[in-house]
Every structure is written in structure tokens, then in C-alpha cells.
Amino acid sequence: MKKLKGFLGGLAAFIFLVLMFQNLAANGDATAMGNGTIEVGGFGKVSVEPDEGHVIVSVEVEAAKASDAASKNAEIVNKVIAKIKATGVENIKTKSYRVEPIYQWVEKPIEPIESIPYESSKGGVVKRSEIVGYRAYTSLEVVAHPEMVGKVIDAAMEGGANRIDSVFFTLSEDARKDAYEVALRKAVGDAKNKAEVVAEELGIENYRIAKVTVGYGYIPAPVYEVKAVSAQTTIIPSEVEVSATVNLIYEFS
């Protein structure tokens, strides 16, 4: 019986050793055969002159009746459009339109209650929100060459627009694509340079690209300076920034 227990114990120890060496061998093969990775990111940016200027102009009028407000608004808007088109700019579209009531808090005396003596109830007031008129609002978006933006503003104001809501500059679709391509090339070059430095410093000779991910960034140019020269508005825009990012994953063995 003791011999059987000793035999079984020795067999179990032998099996354990065999399994342990098999596991070590498997791990050694995985380390030797497996691939490592290098992951790097690249960034590229270009600044270019905008080729589109956007002007948001608005007409807002008030009247006692909704129909009168809408009628007056339409009359002025038509004049604004005509003035803008007279400059040679045709890209005009309605951005928003609404007619809404104008409310005002009004205080009114409380009518005496028959069951309460007048002296006890007089002097009280109640506040009510009442419609005192109507407001009609139209917003137009005008797209023109950057050099025409000042003339568009002057023409809109001359036509009767009473608000310039915003002015900003962008790139047309073709210009944006061209700028992005330049930025992307810079981003790829930046990422490749980083990968080469890492591989050289770590002594990695054979590596190849396994995955590529790209990104895109675009910042329209705001207006930084507005000048009035001889009663003419001059708008000076900043450059438009287009950026690109790229993420490269290299494999090496």
C-alpha cells in the first residue's frame, strides 16, 4: 500500500514537471514568434487665405398688428436684397424668419368686490402679461468674395437692415480639400519621423505599417478688425486654419 502511494505521488510529481516545462516552452515560443508594435501620432497644419466671406444681416421691425409687422419687414428685406445684388453678389439665402408677439407686464387695478367694502378692497393692482404689438424678423446669409464683404455690409445697411449678426470667413470645398491634403502630408511625415526615431533608438530594423487612422480639423476665420474708411466698411480677416492628424501602428518581429 505504501509502495502504491509512493508510486502515485511520484507519478503526480512527474506529470506536474512535464506540464510545467510544456508551459515554459509555450511561453518561450510566444515571445519569440509574437510581433511587437510601435504606435505614433502625427500632426499637420496649414494656414491659408479664405476665399469665402459670410455675412449674416437681419431686419427687425415692430408694429401693432402681426400683418403690418410682416408687411413692413418684407418691404425692407426686398430693398436689402436689391441693394446687395446691385454690388454683383448673388449668393443670398434666408437663414431664419419669424413673426412673434411682444409681451409687456401691465398693472391694472383690481375691481372692487361687492361683498367687501370698497374702502377695504380699493388700491389693489394685478400684473398681467399682455400683447402690446408684434415683431417680424428676417435673417439673411450672404456669401461673397472676402474683398466684397465690406461692400455687402454697407449695401445691407443702406437697404434698411438694422443688424449685422456675424461676419466670418471660410474656404470653398475645393480650397478646403487642397489645404487638407497639404496638412495630411505634413501629419504623415511627422508620424513617420517619430517612428524612425523610435525604431533607431530601440534597434528595431524590420517593421511595417499595420494600421492607419486619419483625422481632420477646420477652423473658420473670425473677424479681427473692422475699419470704416470714407464711410465704407473695410473688413480684414485672418487666415483659415486646416489641420490633419494621423495615427500609425507599425508591427515588428
Does residue 51 contact residue 145 with C-beta atoms inside 8 Å? yes
The verdict on residue 3 lying in a domain is no
Tell me, what's the pLDDT at 107? 78
Does residue 210 contact residue 37 with C-beta atoms inside 8 Å? yes
Same domain, 154 and 239: no
Same domain, 178 and 160: no
Tell me, what's the pLDDT at 238? 82
pTM check: above 0.75: no
Tell me, what's the pLDDT at 196? 95
Given 133, 167, 201, which residue is the final one in a domain? 167
DSSP-assigned states of every residue in 75-89: HHHHHHHHHHHTTT-
Given 111, 134, 167, which residue is the final one in a domain? 167
Tell me, what's the pLDDT at 103? 94
For residue 75, give its domain range: 53-167
Same domain, 85 and 134: yes
Given 114, 139, 167, which residue is the final one in a domain? 167
Instruction: Give the CATH number of the domain where residue 243 resides.
Output: 3.30.110.170
Total domains, the chain = 2
Tell me, what's the pLDDT at 214? 94
Tell me the three state secondary structure of residue 110: coil
Same domain, 38 and 94: no
Same domain, 196 and 244: yes
Query: Rounded to whole angstroms, what are the CA distances from 65 to 2, 133, 207, 245, 250?
Result: 112, 6, 76, 56, 70
Count of Cβ atoms closer than 10 Å to residue 175 Cβ: 17
Over the chain (253 residues), the average pLDDT of each successive run of 10 is: 45 37 33 66 95 95 96 98 97 97 84 55 69 96 94 95 92 94 96 95 92 88 52 81 95 88
Of 98, 88, 97, 93, the closest CA to residue 140 belongs to 93
Instruction: Give the CATH number of the domain where residue 108 resides.
Output: 3.30.70.2970
